Amino acid sequence: MVVKSKPGGLYLTIVTILLIVTTYGVVKDWWAFSAIAGSVFLLVLTFIRTYYRVHNNYLYIFSGFLYTNKLDLSKLESVENVNSYKPAPALSHKRLRLKFNDGKTLDISMDPQLEESFTNELKNSLPG
């Protein structure tokens, strides 16, 4: 199962502001324009390429072009709903917090319509 992250309001606000600044030509120097255009590109790339995949008892997480992670679901301890703004490969503050028995936690976000089926798939991977 592959699920894309759900974008949140803060993320979309930042992208919109950067697009407005770039569009209205507030930046007149080519280097500053390039920096803002590059930032917008990276944000859009993160928006497009943040998703989660469950396959062979592993959770694969992809965000932007720099972040990838592979987590063993046999170590998954619990799944709970949280509201959090802490940095994570999630585009919304409404998240699922995955707790692992090695002390790691990870927040992910997705469309509420897919959340139940994704959570059920994760819980089916829980040991015992």
pLDDT tens profile 69-118: 899 988 888 888 899 888 888 778 888 899 998 889 999 888 888 888 88
Q: How many structural domains comprise the chain? A: 1
CB 4 within 8 A of CB 50: yes
79: containing domain: 2-124
CB 22 within 8 A of CB 40: yes
Q: What is the pTM of this model?
A: 0.71
- Residue written as tokens 């015992």? 128
Record the tokens describing residue 79, joined without a space: 């799944």
pLDDT tens profile 11-37: 667 777 777 666 666 666 777 777 777
Sign of the C-alpha dihedral computed for residues 49, 2, 62 and 5 taken in this order: positive
Q: What's the CATH number where 49 sits?
A: 2.30.29.30
CA pair distance 107, 73, nearest whole angstrom: 14
